[in-house]
């Protein structure tokens, strides 16, 4: 409250207190004067109202001294009572001691009057205090009610005017309330969906996601960020909503789920198209690698084998060759063998046969041996969990990401040791590639890798996204680099493709 409201109220209170004091003083003056002036008598109306009372004038006047005492109790509380009661005693006592015919009776009357005055005044003061407390309590309730009404109105307007669809559903899935944006999003009027169970609007795969989110929230965890859900519109078409879900509590108990949703159907279509093009480009790249690898193995390497054999035959059978020519032929034959070895390594690098025939782990063992031979790094492959084959495209992506990570460690990090940990669980496969190299200053988001020129890591992230996995890079200058790739192999447990930045400093 500002000063404009406080000052008038303060002035009114001060004026009332001054008026009360003036009334009490006037009453004391009038009662004291009448008490000591002999010309006043008891009004006849008193004898008529209380026949046989036989009140004397002094007794009648002493009774009237109760009025300012009680009045002060109403106006000034206990402090006023305990000030005016002695004042009344001072006013009455000289008359009783000097002029009363029976001093003892007069003093007793005064004591009784003062005692009655104190009792009534105290009750008046306490009543005033209780009344004040009740009045302040009522004022506080009224103020809280006004503020609550304003706050409710404000949030109601925010709720109704929000661009995102917002609805509240009870613990059984029945929609309690929804805002106007819900109509634009799913095509139903808010009053049409109130009372409906949310299952009506969800396909079966989305119901599974909803159950998983419910379990996460009810056990006290939170769903980080948003997740994608498919919904049925009123016309029967399917749309994608990006949802944020939280629990509403009352007295510590969950009573409802709050959903905030945004239609991302267009963005989802664009993302799926982009993912489709990236997948096709990756498949085309791998097919081309496979074709080149096959041609190198079936044609180039075979031709080099024949050439090497012919050179060897020439060197061993030609008697007319001088020693210098024979050495030159032998050198050509050795160069041919070296070239053939390099082409065979290139063919294997383009498409390792172990990956297609034996699976991910044997292919990574072969890869570690190859990188170990040309880089000199110590590379350890550690596998835990129950090993199993994955889908062909998943094994291929995981192999390529590990291959790129080992190449980066060999070329750029200065590492001497790399550990590759493959962990199989019932629902996930996780690969952690850790090196003891120089590390680097990680950007805040993985999108910043491309701007830093770290295209290999950015490409790894895109590859992992193609199979719905998550890639995280933990690094710091001088502390090495950890690259973690995690893939949920049970499709039903995926809320959405991971969208985390995936980067943090170690």
Q: What is the mean pLDDT of residues 461-490?
A: 85
HEC assignment per residue over 27-81:
HHHHHHHHHHCCCCCCCHHHHHHCCCCCCCHHHHHHHHCHHHHHHHHHHHHHHHH
Handedness of CA 183, 187, 191, 197 (dihedral sign): negative
Give the DSSP letter string of 82-129: HHHHHHHHHHHHHHHHHT-SSHHHHHHHHHHHHHHHHHHHHHHHHHHH
Neighbours of 353 (CB within 10 A): 13
Distance, in Å, from the CA atom of 103 to the CA atom of 160, rounded to the nearest integer, reads: 83
Residue 320 DSSP SS3: coil
Band of pLDDT at residue 43, cut at 50, 70 and 90: low
454-480: string of b/e by CB count within 10 Å (b at 16+)? beebbebbebbbbbbbbbbbbbeeeeb
Distance, in Å, from the CA atom of 274 to the CA atom of 250, rounded to the nearest integer, reads: 44
Distance, in Å, from the CA atom of 188 to the CA atom of 180, rounded to the nearest integer, reads: 9
Residue given tokens 């664009």 in the structure block: 270
Q: What is the mean pLDDT of residues 47-67?
A: 64
Q: What is the mean pLDDT of residues 246-269?
A: 86
pLDDT score recorded for residue 39: 52
pLDDT score recorded for residue 301: 75
Most confident option among 72-81, 99-108, 230-239, 267-276: 230-239
pLDDT > 60? residue 497: no
pLDDT score recorded for residue 380: 93
pLDDT score recorded for residue 152: 72
pLDDT score recorded for residue 275: 66
pLDDT score recorded for residue 203: 86
pLDDT score recorded for residue 192: 82
CA dist list (Å): 336 to 68, 116, 313, 343, 373: 128, 129, 14, 10, 20
Band of pLDDT at residue 433, cut at 50, 70 and 90: very high
**Comparing 330 with 35, which gets the higher pLDDT?**
330
pLDDT score recorded for residue 434: 93
Distance, in Å, from the CA atom of 263 to the CA atom of 242, rounded to the nearest integer, reads: 7
Q: What is the mean pLDDT of residues 421-439?
A: 90
Q: What is the mean pLDDT of residues 386-408?
A: 87
Contact in structure between 382 and 422 (CB atoms under 8 Å): yes
Q: What is the mean pLDDT of residues 228-237?
A: 85
pLDDT > 70? residue 474: yes
The token pair that represents 317 in the structure block: 């059978």
Band of pLDDT at residue 103, cut at 50, 70 and 90: confident
* Edge-to-edge order in the sheet of strand 253-263: 175-178, 165-170, 253-263, 238-250, 227-232
Q: What is the mean pLDDT of residues 388-401?
A: 86
pLDDT score recorded for residue 430: 92
pLDDT digits 0-9 by tens, 105-131: 778 877 887 888 778 778 877 777 777
pLDDT > 70? residue 51: no
Contact in structure between 382 and 421 (CB atoms under 8 Å): yes
pLDDT digits 0-9 by tens, 325-363: 778 887 888 888 888 777 777 776 676 777 778 888 888
The closest of 146, 176, 153, 165 to 1, measured between CA atoms, is: 146
The closest of 115, 108, 100 to 69, measured between CA atoms, is: 115
pLDDT > 50? residue 6: no
**Whether this model's pTM surpasses 0.75:** no
pLDDT > 80? residue 62: no
pLDDT digits 0-9 by tens, 161-217: 778 888 889 999 999 888 888 878 888 887 888 888 888 888 888 888 888 888 888
Distance, in Å, from the CA atom of 23 to the CA atom of 105, rounded to the nearest integer, reads: 30
CA dist list (Å): 322 to 309, 327, 334: 20, 9, 18
Residues 6+ apart with CB under 8 A from 198: 169, 173, 174, 175, 210
Band of pLDDT at residue 378, cut at 50, 70 and 90: very high
Contact in structure between 404 and 460 (CB atoms under 8 Å): yes
pLDDT digits 0-9 by tens, 120-159: 778 877 777 777 788 888 888 888 878 877 777 776 777 7
CA-angle at 153, arms to 254 and 142, nearest 5°:
90
pLDDT score recorded for residue 499: 37
Kindly report the average pLDDT of the chain as a whole number. 77
**Which residues partner with 488 through β-bridges?**
428
- Taking the CA atoms of the chain, what radius of gyration do you get in angstroms? 48
Residue 248 phi/psi, 5° resolution? -105, 130
Distance, in Å, from the CA atom of 434 to the CA atom of 472, rounded to the nearest integer, reads: 12
Contact in structure between 468 and 497 (CB atoms under 8 Å): yes
Contact in structure between 350 and 289 (CB atoms under 8 Å): yes
What is the bridge-based pairing of β-strands 417-424 and 428-435? Answer: antiparallel
Band of pLDDT at residue 498, cut at 50, 70 and 90: very low
CA-angle at 134, arms to 128 and 140, nearest 5°:
135
pLDDT score recorded for residue 373: 86
DSSP H or E run through 430: strand 428-435
**Comparing 505 with 177, which gets the higher pLDDT?**
177
pLDDT score recorded for residue 54: 56
pLDDT digits 0-9 by tens, 271-296: 677 667 766 776 777 677 777 767 77
């Amino acid at each position: 409250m500002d000063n404009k409201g406080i000052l008038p109220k303060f002035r009114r209170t001060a004026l009332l207190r001054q008026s009360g004091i003036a009334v009490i003083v006037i009453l004391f003056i009038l009662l004291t004067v009448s008490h000591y002036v002999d010309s006043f008598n008891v009004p006849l109306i008193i004898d008529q109202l209380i026949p046989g009372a036989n009140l004397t004038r002094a007794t009648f006047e002493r009774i009237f001294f109760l009025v300012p005492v009680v009045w002060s109790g109403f106006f000034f509380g206990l402090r006023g009572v305990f000030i005016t009661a002695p004042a009344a005693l001072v006013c009455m006592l000289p008359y009783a001691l000097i002029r009363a015919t029976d001093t003892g009776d007069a003093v007793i009357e005064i004591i009784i009057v003062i005692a009655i005055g104190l009792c009534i005044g105290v009750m008046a003061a306490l009543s005033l205090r209780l009344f004040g407390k009740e009045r302040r309590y009522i004022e506080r309730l009224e103020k809280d009610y006004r503020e609550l009404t304003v706050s409710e109105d404000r949030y109601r307007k925010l709720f109704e005017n929000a661009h995102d669809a917002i609805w509240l559903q009870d613990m059984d899935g029945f929609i309690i309330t929804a805002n106007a944006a819900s109509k634009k999003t799913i095509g139903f009027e808010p009053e049409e969906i109130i009372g409906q169970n949310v299952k009506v609007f969800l396909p079966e795969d989305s119901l599974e996601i909803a159950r998983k989110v419910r379990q996460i929230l009810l056990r006290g965890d939170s769903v980080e960020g948003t997740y994608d859900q498919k919904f049925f519109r009123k016309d029967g078409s399917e749309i994608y909503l990006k949802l944020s879900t939280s629990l509403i509590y009352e007295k510590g108990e969950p009573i409802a789920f709050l959903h905030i949703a945004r239609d991302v159907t267009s963005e989802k279509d664009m993302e799926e198209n982009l993912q489709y093009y990236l997948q096709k480009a990756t498949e085309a790249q791998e097919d081309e690698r496979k074709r080149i690898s096959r041609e190198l193995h079936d044609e180039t390497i075979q031709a080099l084998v024949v050439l090497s054999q012919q050179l060897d035959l020439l060197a061993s059978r030609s008697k007319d060759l001088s020693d210098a020519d024979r050495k030159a032929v032998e050198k050509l034959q050795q160069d041919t063998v070296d070239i053939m070895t390099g082409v065979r390594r290139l063919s294997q690098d383009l498409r390792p046969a172990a990956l297609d025939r034996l699976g991910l782990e044997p292919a990574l063992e072969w890869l570690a041996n190859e990188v170990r031979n040309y880089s000199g790094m110590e590379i350890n492959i550690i596998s835990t969990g129950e090993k199993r084959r994955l889908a062909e495209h998943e094994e291929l992506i995981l192999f390529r990401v590990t291959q790129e990570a080992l190449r980066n460690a060999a070329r750029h990090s200065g590492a001497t040791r790399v550990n590759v940990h493959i962990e199989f669980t019932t629902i996930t496969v996780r690969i952690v590639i850790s090196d003891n190299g120089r590390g680097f200053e990680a950007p805040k988001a993985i999108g910043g890798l491309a701007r830093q020129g770290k295209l290999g890591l950015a490409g790894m992230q895109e590859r992992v996204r193609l199979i719905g996995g998550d890639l995280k890079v933990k690094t710091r200058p001088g502390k090495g680099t950890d690259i973690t790739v995690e893939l949920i192999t049970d499709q039903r447990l995926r809320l959405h493709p991971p969208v985390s930045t995936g980067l943090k400093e170690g």
